[in-house]
A and B are shown apart, each in its own frame.
Chain A
Amino acid sequence: MPRLLSTALSLRRDPRLLKIPPYVSALCIVIGVVWLLLLPLDNYSRRTYVSENALLPGQVHTYFGGSEQHIFRAFRHEVDLLASKNNYEVNDKLETILTGFGVKVGRQNYTYHSAGETYSGENVYGILQAPRGDATEAIVLVAAWKSIDEQLNRNGVALVLTLARYFKRWSLWSKDIILLLPPDSTTGTQAWVDAYHDAHDSEHIAPLPLKSGALQGALAIDYPHEERYHELHIIYDGTNGQLPNLDLINSIVNIAGGQMGIETIVQQMTGHTDSYHDRLQTMLRGMLYQGLGYPTGPHSSFIPYHVDAVTLQPTGQGWHDEMAMGRVVEGSFRSLNNLLEHLHQSFFFYLLMQKNRFVSIGTYLPSAMLLAANFTIMAIFLWVKSGQPIEKGASDESKERNLLSPLALVATCHAISAIPLFVFNHLDIKTLPLAFEIFSTSSTALPAVFSLAIASLHKPSLQYFQLTKSFSLLILGVSLATLSTLNFSLAFLVGLLASPLTFLQPTNSRATRWVFVALLILTSPPVVISTAAWTSGLTMSGVLKAASLGWNVWGMYTPVVIWCVWWPAWLIGATNTLIPAFQM
């Protein structure tokens, strides 16, 4: 044992040991990516299962149908008549209908401002009091007047009204049922949920006149589809990449598939063949939506308040009708009604790769953590190297480190990152594209300016470079590791795009430097954002408007990650690479 110890100690002094970390870092990145690619395989993903016993999905007989169809047609007719009316006229009529069933109705005005535009409207909602409950718990049924694609949610609203009338006659509800009919799929639900939890900005959003108990779950129906449909698209991504409990999705898949014989799909993957390719594509789409953190439907606003919610969207050409959809909702509500406590059994962190296949956080987290770890390993390595004497055989005592100026550069870069964050979230839509162009140009020029300024202020030493890079990578690694526990996909994407920063360094070779510069420009945040917008066929102003809306309405933090974590790290990396060559 003592010999082993002394061998280990002598190994610590071995100069060869210091050559290893960059390779370890590279290995971390490679393993991280390969790990993700392995997930769709049978050995790494699992079949889903309902773990909350109280849900009993598909175990009850659903009675919605028969003569309800006539009522549904009648309500659809009413909705058609309202199609050209304004928000308040629509709500007047809806209120009359809901009050007609004996449902208590409340209305709420709201106004949001973002990118110089105003988003205002009035929510109408009704509370159907549970015959067997004490108003301590509630489940929500949402149908926005305008669907996610800005069409009239004709069948959705009619179905909710029919279901409301139908539910009212049942005596078995032990939780209140709230029927929420916001004017649009984006801002309305957010205003309502905020006000329900008293977390609203009372200047722009009115409080709710009526309230029920703690929300246990929510279903949104997005049903502008006119013909008979083939499958049910379950939309589950919440704001900031938060997800509803997997049990909710499992139950709906179970009820729709097992009881009603309706196919379910996730992430718009029609015709999923359960092949590796399809699974991977589903997973990557899920990661992209999660990483963007942008709300995907009226359900998204519920999830940050720990209310599990999904949007159901019938799609495709098939033979299922509105009644089948109603029975899916009925079955799901009966399951939610059974719950004794909040959904907690199943997973909150998962990646779905098929309606019934998933990987849980324990399996996928290591890939993002490895990406984050590569930065930390490199940071520690550079710190150790910065303390070593340059020429061999010099004094054994470690070198004194000058911490002040590297820290100053890192702090400056992080401080100026508040500028793009502020600018892009406060300018109005007319000036946003111009601001982005100006910012992209100056962001490309800034490293050159910084490196010249540094070179003129003091002759930068190798240690200066090592320390700045070390601190910058340390902050990047810490931030990404933290982020990966909150929003795995965003952390993974940013980690991957920032990974060249680990290996870039000042060089004396002109050719290598140009390669580095090209790589840096390609992976700079503005370039990546424009490329992403271009490949997905969006205009830059549309992206900027959506980002601003996300920040101002939903509290989406993706801009913070991009401008205050990624961009400063890139800026420091680029500045370091451009510093005029010095004695290596």
Chain B
Amino acid sequence: MSTTVTLQSKVGVFAGAALLRLVLFAAFPSLPDLLTGRVEISTPVTSFKRLQEGLFLYNHNVSPYDGGVFHQAPLLLPLFSLLPDVKNWPIFTALLYILVDLLSAYALLVIADSGEAGQSKHFTSPRRAKRSSGLLVAAAFLFNPYTIASCIGRSTSAFTNCAILFAIAKALSGSPFNSMVAISFASYLSMYPILLLPPLVLLAYDRQSDKRRIDSAVQFSLRAILIAATCISLLLAMSFALTGNSWDFLARTYGIQLTLSDLTPTVGLWWYFFIEIFDSFRAFFLAVFWLHLVIYVGGLSIRLRTQPLAVLTILLGIFAVFKPYPSISDTSLFLAMLALYRHLYPIMRYTYVASATMLYATFLGPAFYHLWIYAGSGNANFFYAITLVWSLGQSLFVSDLTFAVLRDEWEVERPDMVGKEIRQI
């Protein structure tokens, strides 16, 4: 009885989300293009508009990177050239994006139902009883306005997010091979997900199925890394063949992310900083910013060895704040993962303040961008100030979640301190 009910409600949630998106696509034909143009949704490395440009050049047998605006992975091009022309038949592109969102939600459902958030191999949270159902997590992702906006805006980060979620879901369901393939796809598309490899390998190691068990951690990681490397090499080789036997695409896709040569505004912290900085310091600060992004991986994976899923969640939050070209799509991914930690909400301290901060930034960001670009009565500082507030809101969530995870662990060690005020020194 209960299984049919949940199945029904699952179908209901997924169909509802798909219908909502379809209605938005169909009822407001100018909405997708409007959202595609928003800097909050489309970054230089995920913009659908830029993809169109690349696609046009590709279909006319010109190297897609010659236009200078397309910075996305080459394999997206054959995928999108299979679809009918988006100008005449926008519905097919819309269906593809809706499908990707639904797949992501399905992966989240699997992740939530695995119960890993509350109980991992080496750690069992005393609060795990109050976990959120998979359906609720999927619904929170599907009906999150940020997710909907990036779906309607057709940002290609939807594919990356889907691949990341599938990598996590597959690792949890004991198929390390599929997980590594998925994370290779994510890394191939956006590069930064490669940083998720260490915690993901740990997660896959912890959740191996008993049939094909590899006891040695070193051996397991080596095999996992080998699979990922092979898969990425294959993808790169295909891209090489696709772009006319040239390695140019590496510099034009990953190189852009590494050197931040496109300074289009985003919701992140990099663009303004690198506009302002003197050229002689540029290389140094690029290294510093990237080092800062990378440095969390090792520390968190070691400190939270017992909860690799928490490491992944926190890392996704950190990336959504500190990566070179973040968008609200990355935030939606982090918020979706955050929904898994419902049992920790009571010990999180700033949820309301952080949500209010993000709400403020969501409203003020477009207003200040309007003042800067259209009304001409503001300037870039207005928008940058709001992206700082936006990042502040997200980092409050990240640090609050980290605090809650650590406190949860600590209360297992020190049962006498449960519910007591603690002071950080």
Question: Which of A380, A400, A481 contacts B364 (CB under 8 A)?
Answer: A481
Q: Are A376 and B375 in contact (CB under 8 A)?
A: no
Q: Are A349 and B377 in contact (CB under 8 A)?
A: yes
B278 interface residue (CB < 8 Å to A): no
Q: Are B376 and A485 in contact (CB under 8 A)?
A: no
Bitwise, A78-103 to B at CB < 8 A (1) or not (0) is: 00000000000000000000000000
Q: Are A486 and B371 in contact (CB under 8 A)?
A: yes
A474 interface residue (CB < 8 Å to B): yes
B residues less than 8 Å from A379 (CB atoms): 356
B residues less than 8 Å from A482 (CB atoms): 363-364, 367
B359 interface residue (CB < 8 Å to A): yes
Q: Are B352 and A380 in contact (CB under 8 A)?
A: yes
A residues less than 8 Å from B377 (CB atoms): 242, 306, 348-349
Q: Are A9 and B421 in contact (CB under 8 A)?
A: yes
A379–B353 Cα distance when bound, in Å, is 10
Chain A: how many interface residues by the 8 Å CB criterion?
A: 29
Q: Are A478 and B360 in contact (CB under 8 A)?
A: yes
Most A Cβ at <10 Å: residue of B364, B376, B421: B376
Q: Are B421 and A306 in contact (CB under 8 A)?
A: no
A485–B385 Cα distance when bound, in Å, is 13
Question: Which of A242, A306, A478 contacts B363 (CB under 8 A)?
Answer: A478
Q: Are A344 and B376 in contact (CB under 8 A)?
A: yes
A461 interface residue (CB < 8 Å to B): no
A180–B353 Cα distance when bound, in Å, is 53
Q: Are B419 and A9 in contact (CB under 8 A)?
A: no
A203–B309 Cα distance when bound, in Å, is 55
Q: Are B346 and A486 in contact (CB under 8 A)?
A: no
A196 interface residue (CB < 8 Å to B): no
B334 interface residue (CB < 8 Å to A): no
Chain A residue at smallest Cβ distance from B130: A400
B368 interface residue (CB < 8 Å to A): yes
A395–B419 Cα distance when bound, in Å, is 9
A391 interface residue (CB < 8 Å to B): no
A38–B346 Cα distance when bound, in Å, is 46
Question: Which of A349, A395, A481 contacts B360 (CB under 8 A)?
Answer: A481
CB proximity of A95 to chain B, nearest CB, Å: 33
A109–B303 Cα distance when bound, in Å, is 71
Q: Are A485 and B346 in contact (CB under 8 A)?
A: no
Q: Are B374 and A306 in contact (CB under 8 A)?
A: yes
Chain B residue at smallest Cβ distance from A347: B377
A304–B374 Cα distance when bound, in Å, is 8
B residues less than 8 Å from A6 (CB atoms): 423
Chain B residue at smallest Cβ distance from A479: B363
A42 interface residue (CB < 8 Å to B): no
Chain B: how many interface residues by the 8 Å CB criterion?
A: 19
Q: Are B371 and A481 in contact (CB under 8 A)?
A: no
B residues less than 8 Å from A306 (CB atoms): 374-377
A residues less than 8 Å from B367 (CB atoms): 482, 485-486
Most A Cβ at <10 Å: residue of B352, B353, B367, B423: B352
Q: Are B376 and A478 in contact (CB under 8 A)?
A: no
Q: How many A-B Cβ pairs are below 8 Å? A: 52
Q: Are B423 and A5 in contact (CB under 8 A)?
A: yes
Q: Are B421 and A474 in contact (CB under 8 A)?
A: no
A residues less than 8 Å from B364 (CB atoms): 481-482, 485
Chain A residue at smallest Cβ distance from B425: A2
B residues less than 8 Å from A14 (CB atoms): none
Bitwise, B384-415 to A at CB < 8 A (1) or not (0) is: 00000000000000000000000000000000
A46–B376 Cα distance when bound, in Å, is 23
CB proximity of B43 to chain A, nearest CB, Å: 23
Chain A residue at smallest Cβ distance from B368: A485
A17–B364 Cα distance when bound, in Å, is 30
Q: Are A9 and B346 in contact (CB under 8 A)?
A: no
A residues less than 8 Å from B371 (CB atoms): 485-486
Most B Cβ at <10 Å: residue of A379, A479, A481, A485: A485
B residues less than 8 Å from A400 (CB atoms): 346
Chain B residue at smallest Cβ distance from A379: B356
Q: Are A9 and B356 in contact (CB under 8 A)?
A: no
Bitwise, A358-388 to B at CB < 8 A (1) or not (0) is: 0000000000000000001001100110000
Most A Cβ at <10 Å: residue of B363, B364, B367, B377: B377
A13–B420 Cα distance when bound, in Å, is 12
A376–B355 Cα distance when bound, in Å, is 12
Question: Which of A5, A342, A376, A396 contacts B376 (CB under 8 A)?
Answer: A342
Question: Which of A13, A397, A474, A475 contacts B346 (CB under 8 A)?
Answer: A397
Q: What are 5 of the A-B contact pairs (CB < 8 Å)?
A: A9-B421, A306-B374, A348-B377, A481-B363, A486-B371
A residues with a Cβ closer than 8 A to B are 5-6, 9, 13, 242, 304, 306, 342, 344, 348-349, 376, 379-380, 383-384, 395-398, 400, 474-475, 478-479, 481-482, 485-486
Pairs of residues from A and B, 5 with the lowest C-beta to C-beta distance, nearest first: A348-B377, A306-B376, A482-B363, A383-B352, A482-B367
Known: A380-B352, A395-B419, A485-B367. 16 other contacts (CB 8 A): A6-B423, A242-B377, A306-B376, A348-B376, A379-B356, A380-B353, A383-B352, A398-B346, A400-B346, A478-B356, A478-B359, A481-B360, A482-B367, A485-B364, A486-B370, A486-B371
